[in-house]
Amino acid sequence: MKVGLLLSGGKDSMYAGFLAKKEGHEISCLISIVSENKESYMFHTPSIDKVEKQAEVMGIPLIIVKTKGEKEKELVDLEKGIVEGIDKYGIEGVVTGAVGSVYQASRIQKICDKLKIECINLLWGKEQIELLQDLVRDEFEVIIVGVFAYPLDEKWLGRVIDDKYIEEVSELWEKYEVNPAGEGGEFESFVLNCPLFKKGLKVKGFKDYGEKNSWRREIEVE
């Protein structure tokens, strides 16, 4: 099936694309929503503009839709992006990185139902630590570009998701109920390399913004 991948630049959407390809789907386009609202209910925002670099190394066309990020209204902009994918690339479904957010999954499903295409949620209900372990096993190079929960701070920015990271977030889960895969918005990530890429990306610079337990990193990649 020809599909569009809803791409945020982070681990969940990229890993969902990896699984979709393994299942035999053809990723005909990438669809990214760039929100002006840093507190968007629906969309990942740290370093979102770098999805263009990811699209380049994937060799897949990218549809970018800008939104003001107003709650519910931003879904109209998402629908525009999906419609463009249908019209330009003939997609018959969209792949999402939804793991446990009913808010996100239900709204994307509603749009797909309206447009009469499939909504493919290959990570739905997956155990969080297992998801992180799968990323490491399948050789995804993923860094943290945002933290938004106590006791996380700027020291977590730039961390690579590896075995040590998984061990530490497991402890935070037990002690503070911080979701280890960031499904509650605690973490945001960016994929620098994975099996979908023709070559890896490298961070050549960055700027950090925030205070206390809310930080984001805007990266430059090449």
What digits encode the pLDDT tens for the residues 91-146? 999 999 999 888 889 999 999 999 999 999 999 999 999 999 999 999 999 999 99
Class of the CATH-defined domain 2-121: alpha beta
Beta strand 141-147 pairing with 203-211: unpaired
Specify whether the CB–CB gap between 114 and 32 falls below 8 A.
no
Which pLDDT does position 40 carry in this prediction?
65
Which pLDDT does position 44 carry in this prediction?
60
What are the extents of the domains in the chain? 2-121, 137-221
Other Cβ atoms less than 10 A from the Cβ of 99: the count is 23
**Segments in the chain below pLDDT 50:** none
**Which CATH superfamily is 137-221 part of?**
putative n-type atp pyrophosphatase, domain 2 (3.90.1490.10)
In sequence order, the 6+-apart residues with CB closer than 8 A to the CB of 131 are 12, 15, 99, 123, 181
CA nearest neighbour of 52 among 22, 79, 74, 30: 30
User: What is the pTM for the complete model shown?
Assistant: 0.95
